[in-house]
């Protein structure tokens, strides 16, 4: 199965943490920025793979996202070649015992020292120039080792050591994740040093360095387009994965907005009846586990039909919005208020106490009264007011008891209207009880 270029490995920690680290340039983009980036991606993907050219921003994102994989590739090559090169001291001794100490100095000291520095360079992100420079440095060191050992051995060993160094460094040209310019520069340096060092070898004919260099140029030169093709495929896969991720974020954001819209009353901005019912059920279940109580406050705008008939629907809508804002401002953080239908509003208060519930209901009534919205349907000097019914019950029994709890609050609201409106009536008070949670227990809720 192909590995997602955007996915983090197990060594990088959790998936969320890996994404945040590898794609920090993408995380937190606003909607407009994300769409602009998607437009750039679409323009890039409109080309054939061989013609792909990343924009400056996409190139920066790609370098940041792929750095861990690229650095790992380079470091592993340097480490393994260093170990293998040190082990070949034994082969040098077998071929020519007199070059052993030179071999140890070069293969066991010089190469580990220089390549160790290059490994350190790749331990954290560097500039493109610094990263690219590691390829010619790698090639130059290996070719110098081949030159010094070959010259010390003399004869045919000189050409053999240079050829071995040439092929070892050719693997770096293929493996190192460099762009086309650095690959070409590395190849030219590799072949140039090979020709120059062979040219100084007195044991071979003068024409042989040119012949050998030309031959190897065709062989090693094939690695450059191979590396470039691999780069294009990796960039194409990355851009596809990035587009999928951005589109998934767009979809998730759109779904979240739809979910909010589905739960929101379009006029007042409060949650709608469907969402309130779901919240009431959820709070009932949560309080049942905590052995708590759930309170319901039912709010109705007094004489709203007269208000609407007097000022029209636009004025009526403005009145409902103002009342909704007043209700929202009075709600504590743990409660939720919503529009229950028409001019009726509801508040759900989990972990409620009767006295606190009454205080909250009175605060809502006062907040609406403080608006001092003129009520033209009731005559001069009259203002919009609300009547409120309050009910509470310990969260015991099935969640279907919530419907009965709302009905009890509705009965208290009816009593408030019958008593003259613009007031708060508690269900337990209407029944002649004291404000204690047990007054509206599950038996009474079921009886309602």
- Long-range contacts, stretch 98-101, CB < 8 angstroms, 24+ apart: 98/152, 99/149, 99/152, 99/153
CA dihedral sign of residues 103, 104, 108, 109 = negative
Distance from C-alpha of 170 to C-alpha of 135, rounded to nearest angstrom: 10
Q: Are 162 and 197 in contact (CB under 8 A)?
A: yes
| Residue 343 among the catalytic residues | yes
Grouping H, G, I as helix, E, B as strand and the rest as coil, residue 298 is strand
Beta carbons of 290 and 357 less than 8 angstroms apart: no
Which member of 131, 235, 343, 439 is catalytic?
Answer: 343
Structure tokens at 89: 């001291």
Q: Which residues of 38-59 are buried (b: 16+ CB within 10 A; e: fewer)?
A: bebbeebeeeeeeebebeeebe
Kindly give the residue spans of alpha helices, DSSP state H, lying in 107-222: 111-121, 128-153, 156-175, 180-199, 207-221
**Pairing status of strand 386-394 against strand 336-341:** unpaired
Residues present in the chain in total: 448
Catalytic residues: 343
């Amino acid at each position: 199965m192909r590995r997602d270029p955007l996915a983090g490995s197990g060594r990088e920690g959790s998936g969320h943490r890996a994404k945040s680290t590898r794609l920090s340039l993408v995380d937190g983009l606003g909607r407009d920025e994300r769409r602009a980036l998607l437009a750039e991606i679409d323009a890039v993907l409109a080309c054939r793979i061989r013609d792909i050219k990343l924009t400056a921003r996409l190139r920066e994102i790609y370098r940041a996202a792929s750095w861990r994989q690229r650095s790992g590739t380079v470091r592993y090559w340097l480490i393994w070649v260093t170990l293998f090169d040190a082990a070949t001291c034994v082969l040098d001794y077998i071929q020519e015992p007199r070059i052993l100490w030179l071999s140890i100095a070069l293969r066991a000291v010089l190469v580990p020292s220089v390549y160790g520095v290059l490994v350190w360079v790749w331990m954290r992100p560097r500039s493109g120039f610094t990263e690219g420079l590691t390829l010619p440095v790698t090639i130059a060191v290996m070719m110098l080792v081949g030159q010094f050992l070959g010259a010390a051995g003399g004869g045919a060993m000189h050409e053999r050591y240079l050829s071995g160094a040439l092929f070892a460094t050719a693997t770096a040209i293929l493996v190192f994740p460099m762009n086309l310019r650095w690959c070409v520069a590395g190849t030219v340096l590799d072949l140039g040093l090979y020709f120059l060092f062979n040219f100084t070898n007195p044991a071979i004919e003068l024409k042989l360095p040119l012949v050998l260099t030309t031959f190897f140029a065709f062989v090693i030169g094939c690695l450059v387009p191979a590396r470039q093709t691999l780069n294009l495929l990796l960039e194409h896969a990355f851009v596809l994965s990035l587009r999928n991720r951005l589109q998934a974020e767009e979809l998730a954001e759109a779904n979240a907005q739809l979910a909010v819209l589905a739960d929101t009353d379009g006029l007042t901005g409060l949650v709608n009846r469907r969402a309130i019912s779901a919240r009431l059920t959820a709070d009932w279940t949560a309080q049942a586990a905590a052995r708590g109580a759930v309170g319901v406050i039912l709010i109705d705008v007094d004489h709203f039909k007269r208000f609407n008939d007097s000022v029209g629907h636009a004025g009526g809508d403005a009145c409902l919005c103002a009342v909704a804002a007043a209700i929202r401002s009075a709600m504590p953080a743990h409660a939720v208020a919503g529009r229950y239908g028409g001019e009726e509003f509801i508040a759900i208060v989990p972990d409620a106490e009767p006295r606190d519930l009454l205080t909250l209901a009175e605060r809502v009534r006062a907040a609406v009264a403080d608006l001092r919205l003129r009520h033209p349907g009731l005559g001069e000097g009259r203002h919009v007011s609300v009547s409120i019914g309050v009910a509470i019950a310990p969260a015991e029994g099935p969640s279907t008891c919530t419907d009965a709890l709302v009905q009890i609050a509705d009965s208290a609201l009816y009593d408030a209207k019958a008593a003259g409106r613009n007031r708060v009536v508690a269900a337990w008070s209407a029944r002649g009880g004291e404000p204690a949670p047990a007054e509206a227990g599950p038996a009474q809720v079921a009886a309602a």
